[in-house]
Amino acid sequence: MSKELVDQIYDMLEEVNDPELGIDIVNLGLVYEVVVDENNNVQIKMAMTSMGCPMAGEIVADVKNKVARSEEINDLEVDA
């Protein structure tokens, strides 16, 4: 796992805000883990601010859009 790539992903995730709170998902503590395997496949484990969060789809889509910008990443999975 590349620590540099993990750090870059966390930087990208800090650009994703919870639309209701206006605070990024990293500083809200919603991102539990970022795992990068030897093939640069990425798995992001995260939660929402509440069960049944009405903005969950928008937040996950924003995570995928921000992180997919990196050309180093081959596959991206978000578990929310």
Above pLDDT 70, what percent of the chain?
99
Range(s) of the domain holding residue 56: 3-79
Residue 1 has pLDDT above 70, yes or no: no
Buried b (16+ CB within 10 A) or exposed e, 10-22: eebbeebebeeee
Total tally of structural domains belonging to the chain: 1
Integer angstrom CA distances of residue 34 from 1, 8, 72: 10, 11, 15
Residue 63 has pLDDT above 70, yes or no: yes
Q: What CATH number has the domain bearing residue 65?
A: 3.30.300.130
- Note the pLDDT tens digit of each residue in 34-45: 999 999 999 999
Distance between CA 76 and CA 64 in Å, rounded? 7
Arithmetic mean of pLDDT, 16-30: 94
CB atoms within 10 A of CB 79: 11
